[in-house]
Amino acid sequence: MFDRIQTWDNRILSRLAKKHTPVLDRLMVIITTTGNYGYIWFALSVPLLIINRTRLTGITMILAMLITGLTGEITIKHIVARVRPCNKEFGKDLLIKHPAHYSFPSGHTASSFAVSMVMLFMLPTIFVPVVIYATLMGFSRIYLLVHYPTDVIAGSVLGVICGTIAVCVSPYIPFFSFLY
């Protein structure tokens, strides 16, 4: 079964590698760079943390990213230890700095979808643009050949789960209650 998944992943990456254009190259680098260390999501959380009525949403975003990072980056990546496509058969020149860690699941995608879930439940007025950006974030990781499609799919599922958990538990964490 894993061979079939790997074949499917490789086929998609091979086709996508032939579709690169200078404009898309620049756009995908910009999108993926904003996801490094969750920069875009931390930037979004700052105004939410400042405003009293959205403070819990900002706190929950950060909690969702922490849960996602601990689960995906710290735990799952090291258990699965999947080699990135840019280290294997798709070893063309990368447009971004070579990622240091394993491939599965996509951390950029996971954190983006975790934030999307927080928005869906707590600030639905901005859910659509956030989930569109999260989807673009996942696509950029595949386009830039640093993740397989299944890494991104797993990252989005992980993000949905972790974001939902954060939404469910954040109002009940005593430390957070005095902040809002």
Helix, strand, coil percentages (3-state) for the chain, rounded to 5, are 80, 0, 20
* Cis peptide, bond prior to residue 149, ω within 30 of zero: no
CA-wise closest residue to 77 among 99, 103, 100, 98: 103
Which helix (DSSP H) or strand (DSSP E) does residue 85 occupy?
none
Task: List per-residue pLDDT tens for the chain, 180 residues long.
Answer: 788 988 888 888 888 888 888 999 999 999 999 999 899 999 999 999 999 899 999 999 999 999 999 999 999 999 998 888 877 765 567 777 777 788 899 999 999 999 999 999 999 999 999 999 999 999 999 999 899 999 999 999 999 999 999 999 988 876 655 555
Distances (CA, A) of 86 to 64, 83, 99: 28, 8, 9
Q: How far apart are CA 133 and CA 131, in angstroms?
A: 5
Q: Where are the domains of the chain?
A: 23-93+102-177
